[in-house]
Each structure stands twice: as structure tokens, then as C-alpha cells.
Chain A
């Protein structure tokens, strides 16, 4: 699923001004615990989170995550966005909750290859 589709489906806005609309992901992870994100990484993953500190970008960078979606309309500190730009991470923000945003993406086909 491409960033521009995720942005439209979640009615999300770009936060760094450098989001790549064609950036494609094949899986998703939703968590406020970066420890869990580090323990269960997948390839070409989008990270959905309500945590807004710069360590989100550090974690994403370590896992080669290139797309982060902040939920509940959260606005990260400029420091976190600056780090995202440095690392080439596209950042979106949606007003949906973590649960709803995850469900919407899942229903639209970003389902980590779950069968049935």
C-alpha cells in the first residue's frame, strides 16, 4: 500500500513536508512500546504509534522503517521531525485512534498476509 493511499484512507496529514507519496509498505505494526516494535520487525513496514518522542524515529531508523503514522492527532516535537527528515522517514498524523487506524488499514488490505 502506498503512502498516498494510507494518507487518503486515514485522512492523514504530512508532518515533515517531505513525504514520498509513492513510498510503498507491505506490512504494519501498531504499538506505543518501541521494545515490542524492535522484537517483532517485518520488512517494508509502516509504524503506527501514539508515542511522539524522538526515540520513535531512532527505532524506525534501526529497523529500516520509512513510514510512521502518529495517531489521535498527536503532534511530535520538532526535534523528532528533524530526525525523521535526517533519516528519510515519511511522517503522517491522523485523528483516528491507534485501534481504529490499524483496523482501517487492515480492512483495506494491509493485513500482514493474514489468511481468511
Chain B
């Protein structure tokens, strides 16, 4: 059962609005009363995904699905795709331009950081088509702890 499903468009190379979707998602989850440690992990992963959409894709979207047991965050883009996912997942590897690095991003930490913060992580990519990342964050454990007597 889905409690909520929202989609957020992310524009390529627009650093003025970069992060707005993640900020909105963070506020939404807080409003829904999601455990603060889950909100924090999801916010970090979400922002990493959003920045990746801005700097690497030709545009994409973030899809937030809140269920009774977990929250799923999906990032979908149209773009160059990733030729070697294992290499892209390794910390420090980046194809970001010098301009992007000047903005403070592109250190090659993004995908690994998303995987580290999520409870479930999967990535599919097709060169010349785009990339889809799905991250799952469990609500149940946190809620059990919070609700424990």
C-alpha cells in the first residue's frame, strides 16, 4: 500500500535549482513523521542522486514512494549512461568536468555514498540511453525502536 507517491523533475546543469527536490522530499518525510535517522540517510542519498542528475544526465526525475514498511527513491534519467558500473561505484572515480568540481562536486563519491546510506540499492544503465537507480529505506526497524516500550 502506497501512502504517497510524488515525482520531481530535475533539470540538467541547472545549479540554481539543484537540491530543491531533495529539500522538498526531506520536508515531506519529516511531515509524515518518518524516523529522523531514516530521513537523514535518505536526504543524503537523495541529494547525491539529484546532483548526479544535474551534472551527468540530460535531465531526469526523482520518484518518491512512501509505503507502510519502506520508502523507495528512484532516480531515472535520459543521458549517456554508465559504461562500467563497477568502476563508477568505486570511490574516487569520476567523469565530472572541471566546472562541476569548481562547484564542489564530482569527487567520485556519489554512487557509493547512495549505496552506503540506503538499505537496498540497485542500478541499471544503458550507454546512450540512461540510468535508473532504485534505493529502498526500511521504516519498520526504526519505528520498532521508536515505539518500543
How far is the CB of A25 from the nearest CB of chain B, in Å?
16
Known A35-B104, A35-B105, A62-B43; judge A55-B18 contact (CB<8 A): yes
Q: Is A36 an interface residue (CB 8 A)?
A: yes
B107 pairs with A35, CB closer than 8 A? yes
User: Chain A residues near B46 (CB, 8 Å)?
Assistant: 62
Question: Which residue of chain B lies nearest to A58 when distances are taken between CB atoms in the complex?
Answer: B19
Name the contact of A35 in the complex, choosing from B16, B18, B23, B106 (C-beta under 8 A). Answer: B106
| Residues of A40-86 whose CB lies within 8 A of B | 41, 49, 51, 53-56, 58-59, 61-64
A32 touches B23 (CB 8 A): no
B44 and A41 within 8 A (CB): yes
Binding-face segment, B61-69, B80-88, B108-116, B130-138: B108-116
Bound together, the chains give a CA A33 to CA B108 distance in angstroms of 11
A51-B103, A55-B105, A59-B47 known; 18 new pairs, CB 8 Å cut-off, are A35-B107, A36-B107, A36-B109, A39-B91, A39-B109, A53-B15, A53-B104, A54-B16, A58-B18, A58-B19, A59-B104, A61-B19, A61-B23, A61-B26, A62-B22, A62-B43, A62-B46, A63-B43
A36 to chain B, nearest CB (A): 6
The CA of A33 and the CA of B26, in the complex, are separated in Å by: 22
Binding site for B on A (CB under 8 A): 32-36, 38-39, 41, 49, 51, 53-56, 58-59, 61-64
Evaluate contact between A53 and B109: CB separation under 8 angstroms.
no
The size of the chain B interface, using a CB distance under 8 A, is: 25
Known contacts A35-B109, A55-B18; decide if A63 and B104 are in contact (CB<8 Å). Answer: no
A-B contact pairs, 28 of them (CB 8 A): A33-B104, A34-B104, A34-B105, A35-B109, A36-B109, A38-B47, A38-B48, A38-B113, A39-B113, A49-B104, A51-B103, A53-B15, A54-B15, A54-B16, A55-B18, A55-B19, A55-B103, A55-B105, A56-B104, A59-B19, A59-B104, A61-B23, A61-B26, A62-B23, A62-B26, A62-B46, A62-B47, A63-B40
Which secondary structure dominates chain A's binding surface? helix
Q: B115 CB to closest chain A CB, in angstroms?
A: 12
A59 CA to B23 CA, complexed, in Å: 10
Indicate the member of B15, B91, B107 with the most A CB atoms within 10 Å: B107
